[in-house]
Amino acid sequence: MTKIKICGLTNLPDALVATEAGADLLGFILFPKSPRNVTPETIATIIPEVRKVNPAIKTVGVFVNERADRIMAIVAQTGLDYAQLHGDETVDWFTSLNGHCYKALRPADAQEAATQAATFAGLSKLEGLHWMIDAYDAAAYGGTGKRADWQTAANLARQYPGLLLAGGLTPGNVAQAIRVVQPWGVDVASGVEAEPGRKDHAKVRAFVRMVRKTTTD
C-alpha cells in the first residue's frame, strides 16, 4: 500500500486531521525561509498528541543545509523519527546522522536525477523509505506546487526502491501519479492547503482517500 506523507504542518489541528485521515508520516519544516516553518518547541507539543491517535505514525523533520549536530539536537528535543535532507547536503550527513535520514532530490533534468539517485538512494538505513524526488526550482527548495517529472521518477523508482514522490501532488492528480510512478509513498504540502502553513481539512481527507482507493482497487 502506498504510504502517505502530509508535509508542511504547523499546528496541532492540522496534524490531528492528517493523522485521523490515515496519513503514515507527518512532515514538519525547520527552515526559517519557508512560509511553513515551525519551531522545535511547537513540534515537541504536537508529536505526543498525534501519537495518542496513532502510536505508529512516523514524524519527519525537513531540514535545509542544517548542520548535522543541530539536526540531531532537534530530533532529540522534539521526538522526530526521521530527518529529510532537502538542501545541498552531501553523503557526509548520512554518516553523521547514522543513516537515520533520507535525501530529497530536486534534479533539473533526467540525467541529474539519475546521477543523484545513484549517489543517495542507497544511503538511508530507514525501513522502506530511502529517497525522495521533488520538483526543480532554481529559486526555492520546495513547496512551490510545481510538478516533478513523473516519467523520470518512474524509471528511477524501478532501479532504486523506497521512492517518496513529491512535487505538485493534489487530490486530483495523485491517482495518476501513483499509476505512472509506482512510488513507495507520496508527499503533499501545498496541494492540500488553504494557504501556506494552514491545511484545508477537506483536501487532506480527499488526498488520503484517493491514495487508498487507488492502491486498493
CA-to-CA distance for 185 and 53, rounded, in angstroms? 21
Indicate the helix (H) or strand (E) that contains 174: helix 174-181
User: Can you read off the three cell numbers belonging to residue 3?
Assistant: 504510504
Q: Amino acid identity of 187?
A: D
Specify whether 7 is catalytic.
Answer: yes
Q: Are 8 and 197 in contact (CB under 8 A)?
A: yes
Classify 127 as helix, strand or coil.
coil
Question: Which residues have a Cβ under 8 Å from the Cβ of 138 and sit 6 or more positions away?
Answer: 108
Q: How many residues can be counted in the chain?
A: 217
Cα 184 to chain centroid, rounded: 12
Residue of 7, 24, 101, 149 with catalytic role: 7
Tell me whether residue 137 is one of the annotated catalytic residues.
no
Closest CA to 13 of 62, 65, 50: 50
CA distance 136 to 204: 24
164, 102 contact by CB (below 8 A): yes
Question: Catalytic residue among 14, 24, 101, 134, which?
Answer: 134
Residues taking part in catalysis? 7, 134
